[in-house]
Amino acid sequence: MMVPEETPTLRLTTLRRLVRSSEPPLIVAASTKTADVSAALKRSPRSTAVIVDEENVLQGTARLADLTAASSDDPIALAMSTTTPQLMPENDVESARLVMDAQHTDRVLVVSSTGGLVGVVTRSDLGPAR
């Protein structure tokens, strides 16, 4: 008699594995003009731009809705948010869901121990709650 192989659940999936299979984030330099980021977000399937410095170290995030009050000539660094929650690639998907619920947000940033961006996980990447 053959025993059916168990199907792995998202609960056991690390964020590193999930980030590999999701849409790549829109990454922009902190010096990029707000108007350019706004235009890129309108063309992108992602709703969030990730702002990094010259060494790819995370600085913040920006959503299209957040940019309406910003001057189009200002660098995105002046309009970005620095409060988006962050998790490590080794965290599991359930951790991301719990953080999103606790922080009332729809995304978490996945960053390495050195602050380098690994990816962005959104609530839609997680699928339905279990």
* Domain boundary assignment for the chain: 11-126
CATH fold group of domain 11-126: CBS-domain (3.10.580)
Q: pLDDT tens digits for 70-88?
A: 888 999 999 999 988 999 9
Q: How far apart are CA 55 and CA 84, in angstroms?
A: 20
Tell me the C-alpha distance between 35 and 41, whole Å: 10
Q: Model confidence at 98, in pLDDT bands (50, 70, 90)?
A: very high
Q: How many CB atoms lie within 10 A of CB 83?
A: 9
Q: What are the pLDDT digits (tens) for 18-70?
A: 887 777 888 999 999 999 999 999 998 888 899 988 887 889 999 888 888 88
Retrieve residue 84's tokens.
């988006």
On the CB side of 69, CA atoms within 13 Å amount to 5
